Structure 1
Amino acid sequence: MKVLSFGEILLRLASPGYTKLFQKDSLDATFCGGEANVAVSLAILGQESSFITKVPNNDVGRAAINSMRYFGVNTSKVIYGGGRLGTYYLEKGASQRPSKVIYDRAYSSIALAEPEEFDWDVILDGVEWFHWTGINPALSQNVADICRQACVIAKKKGITVSCDLNYRGNLWSSAEAQETMTKLMPYVDVCVANEEDAEKVLGIKAADTDVENGKLDRNGYKDVALQICGKYGCKYVAITLRQSYSASRNGWSGMLYDATKGETYFSKTYDIQVVDRVGGGDSFTAGLIYALSNGLENEYAINFAVAASCLKHTMEGDYNRSTVLDIEKLISSGGNGRVQR
């Protein structure tokens, strides 16, 4: 199945290892972005994956796109020109010190892009699955308008539309997110969220759940999924469930609700020693898209998505380099981490 992801690709500047930002005189440079991460993961999983964005027509913009081409992502529809490449600074947390992200993405090429630059009728020709996230409309009103145009055309063409709500408090307020996202949600077939997204973006709160203290109640999340499907007509809602014991150790699982069947599926829970958690949600989304688009059963689909994301947490950088075989072996082994030889 042909999957097209739309969003911003960023330059990631991370302090080496687990040092504080600028504790050392260097930063590790890689490329990333919520939607770009999904596109790369899907390509590595063997999916026919494409990515569209706008980047500056310079060495930095081209290097960002080439980082995706390396993994087999089709970038032929990328637009070049204007603005700059967005950047973010990352300080990875450890133990009780949380990870920290500082954005520097104002006036980026994609944020300044004009709706008329994207001919979605042509761009979406032959596409079977279209993915975007709630980060896009947070960048500018122009990008929000571009997202809406894409969703309208995708629905007319019968394309499955997925959205990871991806609330970013550093980009906009909860009130702003709800004002914009509630108008885009009726176009979404598959909604992905984490512990706080449903509340911050849609105003729907899970009962008996305390994200800060790592307390999760499964029945509360079932109710959240029912409300999202009932209000916006989504066919699936997937929720990642993170228990943050510390920055270094997380409990990680997920839930999938199938509105057509009216059934809920919970995955195995992994106890993860975190190497780099940024991009973990994107790897979950990619795993879910892969599983659902390839017709895998719901219970296996949510376990596949969670296992894919579990492996990403053990890797430096935003891109998940796990293959289908890696993920299947994790599922079959139960996560014992034994040497394979």
Structure 2
Amino acid sequence: MSSAPLPTAVFAMNPVHLPELFPPPLMSRLRELVAIDPGLVVHDFADTAAAPALARAELLITGWGCPHLGAEALDAAPLLRTVLHTGGSVRSMLGEAFWERGLTVSSAVGANALPVAEYTLAAILFAGKDAFRLRERFRDEHVYPGPDEYAAVGNLGRRVGIIGASRVGRRLLELLRPFDLSVALHDPYVPDAEARSLGAQPLPLDELLRGSDIVSVHAPDTPETYRMLGRERLALIPDGGVLINTSRGALVDPDALTDELVAGRISAVLDVTEPEPLPAGSPLYRLPNVFLTPHIAGSLGNELARLGGTVVAELERLALGLAPAHAVRRSELAISA
């Protein structure tokens, strides 16, 4: 008895990411689940060369660089019923027509949260040891700090404030549990009892800022969070405090942050900024109290295979008649990244 034909799928993303998202063993598993041409990666839904494949596509496997899925794109793929996204947020990728047609979308945002949480954990522990400042001094002066400088160093009981119980925020809270830190959380959508179950003391934002040695930002970029850390709130962070931002630069007033950092009152670990990248003349590139990285906290290199593996796992569920484990609901978009 012949088996049922495999569902037809098409890649839609920047093709440069495909080899890392689906290395050979993973691509082999993928091709056992769907009929797909690895040599066809759509980056323009109006491309006539892609039209025949799109017309047959029941699934799209998307990623960074996927064109916008509006009405015209969906008209080119009339059989489409599911989108499996190897990236994080799908908010800007999906148009109104997608939701109106009742299509299903799954995202690997949870898998992408892990390396961001790992980066942040490392930043918190280094910040607690004052490693960033002491490294700069050691490089310039080649001397060890004196006992008075060591007095304020250490992670025992260090107060860490987490802004946002996003997927990254929650993974970070999990990673922080083995350490002897005092952790607080601000998230207006998380009940106090849930915050405590996550291992954090729930606090209003201003109180969290006043009481934290290290503040880490993990809220989504929404109209409500735009510039949530302005001049007045940044001033609440205690002298010598550290701000970590792996979310989006728009959540922090860039001028106010620059003024605080130039003054040397606080320090920062910034994987995201506004604008991104910063202009060449920005003082943040040169300040000893700023650890600046080029948006590397999310999945890179071999970590991309974790995202591709999430899509393969979703396809395995679909083959069994199960719903995707990481489906995105329209109602979540207003409060998610």
TM-score, normalised relative to structure 2: 0.31
Higher RCO (CA < 8 A, seq sep 6+): 2
TM-score, normalised relative to structure 1: 0.31
Instruction: Identify the structure with the greater strand proportion.
Output: 1
Instruction: Identify the structure with the greater helix proportion.
Output: 2
In terms of Rg, which structure is larger? 2
